[in-house]
Amino acid sequence: MRLILHNFFRSSTSTRVRAALNLKGLDYEYVAYALRAGEHRHPDYLALNPQGKVPTLLTPDGPLAQSLAIIEWLDETFPDPPLLPATAWGRARVRSLAQTIALDVHPLNNLPVLFYLRDNFSASDEVQARWFAHWVTSAFEALETRLSAEPETGKFCHGDTVSLADLCLFAQVLNNRRFDIALDPYPTLKRIHAACLEVPEIAAAAPELQPDAT
């Protein structure tokens, strides 16, 4: 099966998908887009993804956008190793944790939002950094409370195997480095992130290791 990943090295949503592809042991073609140069707005890319966002995974069935949908498709199509638990409760919990980042943090902190704040509200770099940190802190405080107390938490967010929630957490923590957001106030998140870094397939998805990280 030929897979083509249209992505950007620093995009946290792209990082999630790269990690999932690596964990599944899947070969894929890497196609890079320079977001600051507007390459994702080129007509050829918009024909694949009318939203003009990354990532998009080109599959034998057609292009698929949105990182969570891509990862769940990968998990159903290539079930080993699974990224969602076997039980309905486990799957719901993992999705809940993942969506705290993917739906509550990322949409408010991605480049188009930061650029909109800059261009329409004269938000300085300092104001953008405060905006970014506010939404990360709000979510990470809640995640720390949950993951430090809920019995399902193990080495990773859910038990002792990697799940969708870990991929979202891993990518967000790396993205936070752009704004110097420390993990020290969140010891459980810090521990889980460290565990993710010990998994070679996840570590290989880091932005600085990608071919367009120049």
Per DSSP (E only), the strands in the chain are 4-7, 29-32, 56-59, 62-65
On whether the pTM is more than 0.75, the answer is yes
pLDDT at 198 over 90: yes
Q: Which range among 7-11, 40-44, 157-161, 208-212 shows the weakest confidence by mean pLDDT?
A: 40-44
Q: Name the one residue in this structure whose structure tokens are 């891509």.
A: 70
User: For 5-19, how does the pLDDT look when each residue is reduced to its tens digit (9 = 90+)?
Assistant: 999 999 999 999 999
In this predicted structure, what is the pLDDT of residue 94? 98
What domains, with CATH codes, occur in the chain? 4-81+204-209 (3.40.30.10), 88-202 (1.20.1050.10)
Count the neighbouring beta carbons within 10 Å of the beta carbon of residue 76: 11
DSSP secondary structure string for all residues of 173-196? HHHHGGGT--STT-HHHHHHHHHH
Distance between CA atoms of residues 5 and 119, nearest Å: 30
Quick one: what percent of the chain has pLDDT higher than 70? 100
**Chain-centre distance for alpha carbon 11:** 8
